[in-house]
C-alpha cells in the first residue's frame, strides 16, 4: 500500500494569511486577524498513477513521505487503544511553541461509515513524557485535552450528529487556551469551555509536534483523506475570527477548490465518449484561466488548439482521429496571475475496429471513498483496458449543493485514471439532478441516457433515476431503448443503468430476514422483457454496494441458452451492504467487498474476471455465442 502523499506548507512564518483568508474583516472595516498562524499545513492525498504514468496532478509543492514507526525519533502515540496508521512528524520549524496563550485549528471531512480519526498533538521524545495538549476528531467526536503541571487532565468533548457537519461532511475545529480558560469551537460556534483556575500546562523537555491518523478500520485510507488543514496560532482567536475562518473554508468548499493559494486542477483532463475517430475532453481549474491543448500520434504533439477565453472549465472534442491508435496530449493553463499549470504528457487510444478484440473495466458506486477509488484505479490501470464503464453514483450526493464530492473526492480518486482511460458513465441517484454530471461530461443529448458502439458491442446507457415514469412501456426511455435495440445489428448488446433488475441484497427491496422480497427494483423490471425480446446479452447496474452475478434468465427463470445475465458491480467505494440469509433462485455468485470487473471481448466470447481490492481473482465466467 503506497502511503506517499503531498504536504503543502503554508504560512510557516508570521504574516497575514493569503488568498481567500486575507479578505476576512470585521463589519467596521478593521482586520479580524492581525497576523496569521505560526504554523499551517494543508494535506492533499496523492492522486497519481504509478510508475511512468505519474504526472503532476497537483502543483509542485513540498513533499513529505509517511515515516515508518521504526524510523521516527518518538514512539507511536496510542489513541483509543490504537496505534497510528500514519504520522506526520517533520512539520515544526525552529520557533518555540506557544505555551500560555494559543489556538489550534483543524479542517476535516468525514465521509465513511467506519470509526476513523486524526490527532494533532505536542509531545515529548519518549512515551513517559507529558502531552500538554491534544486535539482529536474521531468517529464524529471532537476532543481537546490538556495536561496541567499539577497532573490534572482536562477534556473538552463534543459529539457531532452523524452527517451533521458543514455540507453534511465538513468539520472546522478550533481549540483556544488562555491563562484561565480553554474553549472548543465547532463550525464557528463554541460548543464547550472550562476554567483553568490559573493552571499551567505540563510541557516536556524537548517538545515536538505531530499529526497522526488512526484508520485501522478503513484499509487504504490516508491521513489526507480525512484532515485537510491544521494550524497553530500564538494568540487566542476571537469568536468573530473563528466564525470568519469557518466561513472562508466553507466558501472554498462551495467553489470546489481543493486547497487555497495554489493554481491547480479541480478536474484534471477527463476523457469521455471515446470513438474510433474522436474523444471528448474537458478540464477545470480552481480559477479562470486560458489554455493550450497539444496532441498527436507522438510526443512531438503536432496539433494545437488554443482556448483564449479565460474561464474555469474548458471542453472540446478531438475529431478526425485514426481508429485503434495511441495519441499523446498535454494541457497547459495560464491564470491571470500569471501562473502556469501543466497536465504533463498524457495518452489515450481510440476505439478498435469491428471484429477486433478489446477489454474494458466495469465498476460502480465510486462514491465517498477516494482512497478506495485510487486503489481500484491503480489495479484497473495495471490491466490497461480500452475504457471504463461506471454504473452510477460516481458521487454519493454530488448534486448541485455538493460540488465538492466531485472535486474533493471523485476526481482525487479517479481523475488520474480517466486522464488516460476514457469513462462511459450512467447517472445514479447520487447525481440525480444531473447538474454536475452534465457539467463534467460531454455526452450525447440529453446526456442522462445515450448509446455508443465499441467494437462488436452496442452499449445502451440509461438514467434509472427516471425509472418510475420512463421505464414503463409508455415511458420515454423505454420507447427510446426499444427503438435503439430494434436498429442495432451488433453482435453483442449490453444495457447499463444504476438501479437493480435482480439482486438478493438483504433489505433494499424488503427485509429478507423477515419476509419475502421483490429481489430488485420493480420500476426497473419492465425493461427486462424488452431486453430479452431483443437478445440483450447483459444488463449491468450498481446501487447496491456488492457484487452479484445471475445465471442467464429469460421469462422469469434460468435459461442457460437464451437468457440474459444480470450483473451487479457496485463495489467502487460506497459503504458496503450485505446479502439476504437464503440463496436466491437466480444468483450464481455473490461477493461482499470492494471490487472491479474486467471484460475481454474476443469474437464469439465475452470473458469476465472480478477482482477484489487486493487484486485477487474472485469470480470468472463467460458468455458465448454460436454452437
In this predicted model, what pLDDT tens digit does every residue of 572-587 receive, in sequence order?
999 999 999 999 999 9
pLDDT at 627: 66
Q: By the 8 A CB rule, do 513 and 477 touch?
A: no
pLDDT at 206: 86
pLDDT at 83: 95
- pLDDT beyond 90 at 337: no
Average pLDDT over residues 478-489: 98
Phi-psi region of 292 (alpha: psi -120 to 50; beta: other; left: phi over 0): beta
Report residue 2's pLDDT band, with 50, 70 and 90 as the boundaries. Answer: very low
pLDDT at 197: 80
Per-residue model confidence as pLDDT tens digits over 44-83: 888 999 999 998 655 433 333 333 333 446 789 999 999 9
Closest CA to 1 of 66, 76, 56, 70: 66
Report residue 179's pLDDT band, with 50, 70 and 90 as the boundaries. Answer: confident
User: Does 162 or 17 have the greater pLDDT score?
Assistant: 162
- pLDDT beyond 50 at 3: no
- pLDDT beyond 60 at 427: yes
Of all residues in the chain, the percent with pLDDT exceeding 70 is: 92
Domain 5-254: CATH class, spelled out? mainly beta
pLDDT at 44: 86
User: Does 618 or 26 have the greater pLDDT score?
Assistant: 618
How many angstroms separate the CA atoms of 436 and 430, rounded?
Answer: 11
Out of 20-24, 370-374, 454-458, pick the least confident.
20-24
- pLDDT beyond 50 at 8: no
How many angstroms separate the CA atoms of 191 and 193, rounded?
Answer: 7
Report residue 401's pLDDT band, with 50, 70 and 90 as the boundaries. Answer: very high
Q: Where in the chain is the domain with CATH 2.60.40.10?
A: 263-351
Q: Where in the chain is the domain with CATH 2.60.120.560?
A: 5-254
CATH number assigned to the domain covering 263-351? 2.60.40.10
Closest CA to 321 of 335, 337, 302, 338: 302
User: Does 184 or 44 have the greater pLDDT score?
Assistant: 184
Average pLDDT, the chain: 91
- Using alpha carbons, list the distances in angstroms from residue 157 to 142, 172, 187, 192: 6, 14, 14, 7
CATH number assigned to the domain covering 352-624? 3.60.21.10
Report residue 9's pLDDT band, with 50, 70 and 90 as the boundaries. Answer: very low
How many angstroms separate the CA atoms of 438 and 400, rounded?
Answer: 11
Report the run of H or E that residue 349 belongs to, with start and end.
Answer: strand 346-349
Amino acid at each position: 500500500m503506497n502511503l506517499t502523499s503531498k504536504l503543502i506548507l503554508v504560512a510557516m512564518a508570521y504574516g497575514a494569511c493569503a488568498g481567500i483568508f486575507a479578505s476576512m474583516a470585521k463589519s467596521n472595516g478593521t482586520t479580524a486577524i492581525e497576523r496569521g498562524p505560526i504554523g499551517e499545513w494543508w494535506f492533499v492525498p496523492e492522486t497519481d498513477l504509478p510508475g511512468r504514468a505519474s504526472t503532476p496532478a497537483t502543483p509542485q509543492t513540498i513533499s513529505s513521505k509517511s515515516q515508518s514507526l521504526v524510523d521516527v525519533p518518538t514512539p507511536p502515540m496510542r489513541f483509543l487503544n490504537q496505534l497510528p496508521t500514519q504520522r506526520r512528524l517533520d512539520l515544526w520549524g525552529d520557533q518555540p511553541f506557544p505555551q500560555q496563550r494559543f489556538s489550534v485549528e483543524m479542517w476535516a471531512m468525514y465521509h465513511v461509515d467506519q470509526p476513523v480519526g486524526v490527532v494533532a498533538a505536542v509531545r515529548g521524545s519518549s512515551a513517559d513524557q507529558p502531552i500538554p495538549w491534544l486535539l482529536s476528531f474521531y468517529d464524529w467526536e471532537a476532543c481537546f485535552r490538556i495536561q496541567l503541571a499539577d497532573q490534572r487532565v482536562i477534556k473538552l468533548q463534543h459529539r457531532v450528529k452523524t452527517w451533521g457537519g458543514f455540507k453534511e461532511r465538513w468539520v472546522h475545529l478550533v481549540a483556544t487556551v488562555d491563562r484561565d480558560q480553554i474553549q472548543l469551537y465547532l463550525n464557528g460556534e463554541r460548543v464547550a469551555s472550562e476554567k483553568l483556575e490559573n493552571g499551567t500546562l505540563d510541557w516536556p523537555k524537548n517538545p515536538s509536534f505531530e499529526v497522526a491518523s488512526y484508520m485501522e478500520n478503513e484499509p487504504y485510507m490516508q491521513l489526507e483523506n480525512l484532515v485537510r488543514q491544521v494550524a497553530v496560532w500564538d494568540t487566542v482567536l476571537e469568536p468573530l475570527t473563528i466564525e470568519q475562518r469557518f466561513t472562508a473554508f466553507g466558501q472554498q468548499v462551495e467553489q470546489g477548490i481543493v486547497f487555497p493559494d495554489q493554481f491547480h486542477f479541480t478536474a484534471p483532463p477527463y476523457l469521455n465518449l471515446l470513438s474510433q475517430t474522436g474523444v471528448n475532453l474537458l478540464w477545470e481549474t480552481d480559477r479562470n484561466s486560458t489554455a493550450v491543448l497539444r496532441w498527436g500520434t507522438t510526443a512531438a504533439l503536432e496539433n494545437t488548439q488554443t482556448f483564449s477565453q479565460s474561464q474555469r472549465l474548458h471542453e472540446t472534442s478531438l475529431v478526425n482521429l485514426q481508429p485503434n491508435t495511441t495519441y499523446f496530449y498535454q494541457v497547459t493553463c495560464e491564470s491571470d496571475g500569471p501562473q502556469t499549470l501543466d497536465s504533463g504528457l498524457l495518452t489515450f487510444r481510440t476505439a478498435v475496429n469491428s471484429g477486433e478484440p478489446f477489454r474494458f473495466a466495469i465498476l460502480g458506486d465510486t462514491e465517498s471513498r477516494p482512497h478506495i477509488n485510487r486503489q481500484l484505479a491503480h489495479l484497473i490501470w495495471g490491466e490497461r483496458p480500452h475504457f471504463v464503464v461506471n454504473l452510477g453514483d460516481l458521487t454519493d450526493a454530488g448534486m448541485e449543493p455538493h460540488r465538492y464530492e466531485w472535486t474533493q473526492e471523485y476526481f482525487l480518486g479517479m481523475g488520474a485514471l480517466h486522464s488516460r482511460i476514457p469513462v462511459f458513465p450512467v447517472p445514479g441517484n447520487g447525481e440525480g439532478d444531473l447538474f454536475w454530471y452534465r457539467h463534467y461530461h460531454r455526452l450525447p443529448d440529453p446526456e442522462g441516457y445515450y448509446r455508443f458502439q465499441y467494437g462488436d458491442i452496442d452499449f445502451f446507457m440509461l438514467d434509472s433515476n427516471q425509472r418510475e415514469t420512463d421505464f414503463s412501456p409508455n415511458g420515454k426511455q423505454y420507447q427510446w431503448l426499444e427503438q435503439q435495440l430494434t436498429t442495432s445489428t451488433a453482435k453483442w448488446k449490453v444495457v447499463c443503468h444504476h438501479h437493480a433488475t435482480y439482486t438478493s441484497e438483504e433489505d433494499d427491496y424488503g427485509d429478507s430476514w423477515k419476509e419475502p422480497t421483490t429481489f430488485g427494483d420493480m420500476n426497473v423490471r419492465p425493461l427486462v422483457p424488452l431486453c430479452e425480446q431483443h437478445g440483450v446479452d447483459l444488463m449491468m447496474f450498481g446501487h447496491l454496494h456488492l457484487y452479484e452475478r445471475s445465471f442467464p434468465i429469460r421469462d422469469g427463470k434460468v435459461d442457460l441458452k437464451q437468457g440474459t445475465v444480470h450483473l451487479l458491480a457496485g463495489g467502487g467505494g460506497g459503504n458496503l451492504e450485505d446479502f439476504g440469509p437464503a440463496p436466491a433462485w437466480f444468483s450464481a455468485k455473490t461477493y461482499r467487498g470492494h471490487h472491479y470487473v474486467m471484460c475481454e471481448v474476443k469474437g464469439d466470447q465475452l470473458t469476465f474476471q472480478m477482482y477484489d481490492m487486493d487484486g485477487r481473482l474472485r469470480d470468472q465466467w463467460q458468455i458465448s455465442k454460436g454452437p
